Chains A and B, each alone.
Chain A
Amino acid sequence: MLATLLQLLARRLVASIPILLLVCALLFSILRVLPVDPAAMSMPPTATIAEIDAKRRDMGLDQPLPQQFLIWLRDAVHGQFGRSIQLRRDAGALVADTLPATVELAVMAMVIATVLGLGGGLLLFHLRGSKLEIVADIASTVLLSIPEFLWALFLLFLFGVVLHLLPFAGRLPPDFVRPNVTGFLLLDTLLVGRPDMFWAAVKHMILPAFALGLAFSPAIMRVLRSSLLDVYQEDFIAQLRLRGLSEGRILIGHALKNAILPTLTLMGVQFGFLFSGTLLVEVIYSYPGMGNPMVDAVRNADLPIIQAVGLTYCIVVLLITIAVDCLYLVLNPKLRRH
């Protein structure tokens, strides 16, 4: 079992290397055909043309493009993306500082999306054939069309501005001093023994995490419902009924186990999108993850940050799909035997 899992993991990781290389090449070429000159941008406005030329040689920009790509790739593998032109700090260090906050938000949102998605799917399935079915059906179509961007703004408007129930900017109230042990704020507040700060941090995350969770759960609901409908067509359900099992036990103990697999496949794709969706939600809630520096970098054409953060988003999305594939293997008895 473990051996199969490790084998799959290794195979998937190896298979993602060429994709990652091509993603790097695409990222690099989009940004290298830009009409911006990184050398000129990193110099003070008083620099002479000769100084800029020297800088350009220094940065390797006079080399042919494939050569430049290889140099960039070599540095990228070592986590060296160069210094941000705007922020005057190392782009790799910026990713290391901001990634934990984004991961915390994404994980919380994934938990919410899973709970809402599975719960909603069971509810939709439960309503099959009832008068409420059409209502639930249309509601799920409408919910499906609300992206995280709109949820984020709407929740901010309703719970932050109109009802004043929850905070909607940053991660902590200004009077708290942020502890820094692991970089993960929720973990750190517990490690330094400050449950009040932990609670404050959780309250700041509720709206952004729900915005993401609400946007990505309707698809999970619909797939779970339709795979449950498929499972209930099978003979073994009728057999279980004949054996006298209660409907509840059939659903939870047997049908759900089979219906969860297609749902899981979809969740892999959804969680990849969810992770990249944190970008906008972070911008809307001024949440200090990778989103805000990325958008600032895009506005200012700050290439090292765009490349470092952009690549990080791609890598995490790839890792999420691989992780879900492994989970699929663990849960799927058919694949387990081989």
Chain B
Amino acid sequence: MDMLKRCLRSGRVMVGLGIVLVILFCALFAPYLAPADPNDQDLLHILLPPAWMADGDSAFPLGTDSLGRDELSRLIYGARTAMTVAIVASFGAMAIGSILAHVAGYFGGAIDWIIGRVVDVWMSFPPVIFSLILMVGLGTGLDKVILAIVLVDWTRFCRVLRSEVLVVKQRDYVAAARLIGFSHWRTVTREVLPATLPLLITLVSLEMGIAVVVEAILSFVGLGVGADLPAWGQMIADARQHIYDSASGLFFPILAIFLTVTGFNLLGDGLRRALDVRLISAREQ
């Protein structure tokens, strides 16, 4: 409760959460908010600027792309793609990464060593290169993008959480739990996990921002969610190709990605400050 109150008082958390909720709202209610079907082509009205500029058309508030599709509608539906990837991929990466982190940190020894070396090798692959290579094998599609992000980014959770587990494991109450006969499973889930949970939540929030960027990057190079799903990265790629005809097409998807990532990062950063026990006790002293 105390932690919740501290989160609600944090400006970062509230601003970040506000941005994320607005985008989530767009994603959930895209069919009601979007003025047109995002895939409807109107080849008589291609590369239009926003409605308020000269040559703009009030039927297309933010203009159209090179196939005459409505930019605003694609932007709103793009939020759907981005949010789906952000939520599913970051929870997937968290699941794998945190399970391995708890196993490695709690049991230590050979298991810890093996998991540590796997993380080392995994991380010596630059993430962008790694996800591109994975997409060659997986092919395009929403589920493939999510899978690629999970397969690349679980290490972020694993490395950070493992060191946290090592610290928590040393505490007296964990030893006490073992002494009164708790099983390993019960000790980890009831005693260790609650202590690592704040860090876990922070990491998930930051990972969501990363996932949004990775999805945009993969869609930008044409290896993302596929042509039938509107995605911000695709809109940018389309606008980049016709940059001399219509520059505005570049601006709005960049802004959308920027806002989403900033939202998740402010939320993550705020949560870290609000939930970090050590930071709080240092401040109170």
- Chain A residues packing against B (C-beta within 8 Å): 19, 22-23, 26-27, 30-31, 33-35, 138, 141-142, 144-147, 149-150, 153-154, 156-157, 160-162, 272-273, 275-277, 279-280, 283-284, 294-295, 298-299, 301, 306, 310, 313-314, 317-318
Measured between beta carbons, the chain A residues less than 8 angstroms from B128 are 276-277, 279-280
Measured CA separation A204–B251 after assembly (Å): 22
Measured CA separation A156–B269 after assembly (Å): 29
Q: Are A306 and B124 in contact (CB under 8 A)?
A: no
The residue in B120, B124, B250 that gathers the most chain A C-beta atoms within 10 A of its C-beta is B124
In whole Å, how far is A56's beta carbon from the nearest beta carbon of chain B? Answer: 20
Measured between beta carbons, the chain A residues less than 8 angstroms from B222 are 299
In whole Å, how far is A81's beta carbon from the nearest beta carbon of chain B? Answer: 14
6 pairs of residues in contact across A and B, judged by CB atoms under 8 Å: A22-B121, A153-B254, A156-B250, A161-B243, A161-B247, A283-B220
Q: Are A30 and B213 in contact (CB under 8 A)?
A: no
Q: Are A141 and B269 in contact (CB under 8 A)?
A: yes
The 3 closest A-B pairs by CB, nearest first: A276-B126, A145-B265, A22-B121
The residue in A149, A295, A299, A314 that gathers the most chain B C-beta atoms within 10 A of its C-beta is A149
Residue of B nearest to A272 (CB): B126
Q: Are B133 and A27 in contact (CB under 8 A)?
A: yes
Contact A149:B120 (CB < 8 A) given known A275-B126, A276-B129, A306-B133: no
**Is B223 an interface residue when CB atoms closer than 8 A count as contact?**
yes
From A26, A145, A272, B262 is in contact (CB under 8 Å) with: A145
Q: Are B221 and A141 in contact (CB under 8 A)?
A: no
Q: Are A298 and B135 in contact (CB under 8 A)?
A: yes
Measured CA separation A275–B129 after assembly (Å): 11
Q: Are A314 and B124 in contact (CB under 8 A)?
A: yes
- Chain B residues packing against A (C-beta within 8 Å): 12, 120-122, 124-129, 132-137, 209, 213, 216-217, 220-223, 236, 240, 243-244, 247, 250-251, 254, 257-258, 261-262, 264-266, 269
Measured between beta carbons, the chain A residues less than 8 angstroms from B254 are 150, 153-154, 157
In whole Å, how far is B90's beta carbon from the nearest beta carbon of chain A? Answer: 15
A-B contact count (CB 8 A): 117
Q: Are A23 and B221 in contact (CB under 8 A)?
A: no
From B133, B209, B258, B262, A31 is in contact (CB under 8 Å) with: B133
Q: Are B124 and A318 in contact (CB under 8 A)?
A: yes
Measured CA separation A31–B125 after assembly (Å): 14
Q: Are B136 and A31 in contact (CB under 8 A)?
A: yes
Contact A295:B124 (CB < 8 A) given known A141-B266, A145-B265: no
Measured CA separation A153–B251 after assembly (Å): 9
Residue of B nearest to A134 (CB): B11
Measured between beta carbons, the chain B residues less than 8 angstroms from A299 are 221-223
Q: Are A141 and B265 in contact (CB under 8 A)?
A: yes
Measured between beta carbons, the chain B residues less than 8 angstroms from A142 are 262, 265-266
From B121, B244, B264, B265, A26 is in contact (CB under 8 Å) with: B121
Q: Are B129 and A30 in contact (CB under 8 A)?
A: no
Measured CA separation A160–B250 after assembly (Å): 12
In whole Å, how far is B131's beta carbon from the nearest beta carbon of chain A? Answer: 10
Q: Are B132 and A146 in contact (CB under 8 A)?
A: no
In whole Å, how far is B23's beta carbon from the nearest beta carbon of chain A? Answer: 14
In whole Å, how far is A180's beta carbon from the nearest beta carbon of chain B? Answer: 27
Q: Are A295 and B132 in contact (CB under 8 A)?
A: yes
In whole Å, how far is B8's beta carbon from the nearest beta carbon of chain A? Answer: 18
The residue in B132, B136, B266 that gathers the most chain A C-beta atoms within 10 A of its C-beta is B136
Measured CA separation A284–B135 after assembly (Å): 19
Contact A298:B136 (CB < 8 A) given known A141-B266, A146-B258, A284-B240: yes
Q: Are B121 and A298 in contact (CB under 8 A)?
A: no
Measured CA separation A153–B254 after assembly (Å): 7
Contact A298:B251 (CB < 8 A) given known A31-B137, A147-B261, A149-B217: no
Measured between beta carbons, the chain A residues less than 8 angstroms from B266 are 141-142, 145
Contact A157:B126 (CB < 8 A) given known A30-B137, A142-B262: no
Q: Are A149 and B269 in contact (CB under 8 A)?
A: no
Q: Are A149 and B220 in contact (CB under 8 A)?
A: yes
| Additional A-B contact list (13), CB under 8 Å, known A306-B133, A310-B133 | A19-B121, A26-B121, A27-B125, A31-B136, A138-B12, A141-B269, A147-B213, A149-B213, A161-B244, A161-B247, A276-B126, A283-B220, A299-B223
Q: Are A30 and B220 in contact (CB under 8 A)?
A: no
In whole Å, how far is B11's beta carbon from the nearest beta carbon of chain A? Answer: 8
Q: Are B126 and A314 in contact (CB under 8 A)?
A: yes
Residue of A nearest to B222 (CB): A299
From A35, A272, A275, A298, B132 is in contact (CB under 8 Å) with: A298
Measured between beta carbons, the chain B residues less than 8 angstroms from A147 are 213, 261
Q: Are B257 and A150 in contact (CB under 8 A)?
A: yes
In whole Å, how far is B210's beta carbon from the nearest beta carbon of chain A? Answer: 8
In whole Å, how far is A271's beta carbon from the nearest beta carbon of chain B? Answer: 11
Measured between beta carbons, the chain A residues less than 8 angstroms from B122 are 26
In whole Å, how far is B271's beta carbon from the nearest beta carbon of chain A? Answer: 13
Measured between beta carbons, the chain B residues less than 8 angstroms from A313 are 126, 129
Measured CA separation A22–B120 after assembly (Å): 10
Measured CA separation A38–B209 after assembly (Å): 37
Measured CA separation A181–B121 after assembly (Å): 37
